[in-house]
Structures are given as structure tokens and as C-alpha cells.
Amino acid sequence: MRRYVILARRFALALALGASPGAALLQAQTLPAGLAARLAACGACHGVDGNASLRDTPSLAGQPAVFLENQMVLIREGIREIALMQGALEGFTDTDITALARHYARQPLKAPAASRDAVLFAKGEKLAEQNRCGSCHLPNYAGREQMPRLAAQREDFLLHSMRQFASNQAVGRDTLMAASLHGLNDPDLVAIAHYLSRIGP
């Protein structure tokens, strides 16, 4: 329970900082030395600049800081289960996690792949609209607060995570998402992943 109180407080803090960009800019332009060293380990999977080049691995660059912060706490506590990340966040304090979240949120996300399958792209765009994905993830799919950015995320990771939600394998993740995919079949998810990965940032 206490954790969630901490999260709620941090959420309020993030909003307050968001309201004053000057203060946010002054914060943590550089990471403390100890954290910077540990960041190298994350880079092996998520990319040194937060742009992942490994299969089924999310890019962290340009994600809302609140989303990253919440997920890192859930992963550290073992609530969101990620076998590959076992122990990766061990020893990180809440303050470290806040600094890491801000760091990745500020990294520029790479432009999406230019190659598009016109039919798949159009199908994905229509399905995302019909299913109102933008009502939470924003109409440009840039995400906000606890809702992740989907635009320009890796196509394979988008598909992998939607399949996890759809089959109720997304342990420790928000059940709202499984509900949001109700009625969509696997080829629909393939089209949505193609579309979202090719737009923005």
C-alpha cells in the first residue's frame, strides 16, 4: 500500500514539474555517477540512447516519465514479471528510479522506419481509430502520464505486448488494456502494430 502512496505523491510531483518547465530543465541534466555506470547495463538491451535494437524489447526514449517510473517500480518489486530483467533494478531507490525515468523521457526517439505496407498501415489506422486507442494514448499516440507512447515504438514489441494483453499473459500490467483489445483478432493486432510503429515521433 505504502508504495502506491509514494507513487501517487510522485505523480503529483511530476505534474507540478510539468507545469513549470524551467524547474524541470534545471533538474538532473546529468545523472549521478553511480547511476550513469549502471545505465550501461540497461543499454545492452534498451539501447545506449534508449532506442532498442533487440527483438521484442521496448525503446524507452521519449516515453512519459510517469509511465517509466511506474513500470520500473512494478518491475523492481516483481509485480510486472520480466524474466530478462530479473535483478536488473535491484538496489535502485525510488529517487534513482525517478532520475532514470526523467533521463529516458528526455532522450530523442529515432524516426520510425520509412517502409510501409500501405494495406496493413491503412487497416491498422482504421482499427486504432475505431477502438479509440487515442482516448488514452492521445490522438497522436505520444502517450501521457501513466499511458505509454505507442507512436514509433518497435513493431515487434508492440505486437508482443498486445498479444500478452490479449491472452491475459501480461502479469502485473493494467487490466484496462486487455479490455481495450476485446474483439480484435491476431491479424488485427499485426496491422495495429505496423501502423503505430510507422507514425511519429
- The least distance separating ligand HEC from the CB of residue 181, rounded to whole angstroms, comes to 6
**Burial (0-12, 13-18, 19+ Cβ within 10 Å), 84:** exposed
Return the number of the residue (12 or 176) whose C-beta is nearest ligand HEC: 176
Return the number of the residue (24 or 127) whose C-beta is nearest ligand HEC: 127
Question: Cell match 489506422: residue?
Answer: 125
The cell for 4 is: 502506491
Task: Specify the amino acid at residue 99.
Answer: A
Q: Please give the Cα distance from 57 to 161 (Å, whole number).
A: 10
Is the backbone peptide bond immediately before 201 cis, with ω within 30 degrees of 0?
A: yes
- The least distance separating ligand HEC from the CB of residue 196, rounded to whole angstroms, comes to 7
Return the number of the residue (21 or 62) whose C-beta is nearest ligand HEC: 62
Helix axes of 33-46 and 94-106: crossing angle, nearest 10 degrees: 60
Return the number of the residue (7 or 85) whose C-beta is nearest ligand HEC: 85
Within 13 Å, how many C-alpha atoms sit on residue 83's CB side? 1
Whats the size of the chain, residue-wise? 201
- The least distance separating ligand HEC from the CB of residue 121, rounded to whole angstroms, comes to 14
Work out the number of other CB atoms within 10 angstroms of the CB of residue 14: 20
- The least distance separating ligand HEC from the CB of residue 115, rounded to whole angstroms, comes to 20
Return the number of the residue (22 or 183) whose C-beta is nearest ligand HEC: 183
- The least distance separating ligand HEC from the CB of residue 134, rounded to whole angstroms, comes to 8
In angstroms, how far is the first alpha carbon of the chain from the final one? 36
- The least distance separating ligand HEC from the CB of residue 182, rounded to whole angstroms, comes to 9
Return the number of the residue (23 or 56) whose C-beta is nearest ligand HEC: 56
Contact footprint for ligand HEC (CB under 6 A)? 38, 41-42, 44-46, 56-58, 60, 68, 71-72, 82, 84-85, 88-89, 100, 128, 131-133, 135-137, 146-148, 150, 158, 161-162, 173-174, 176-177, 180-181, 192
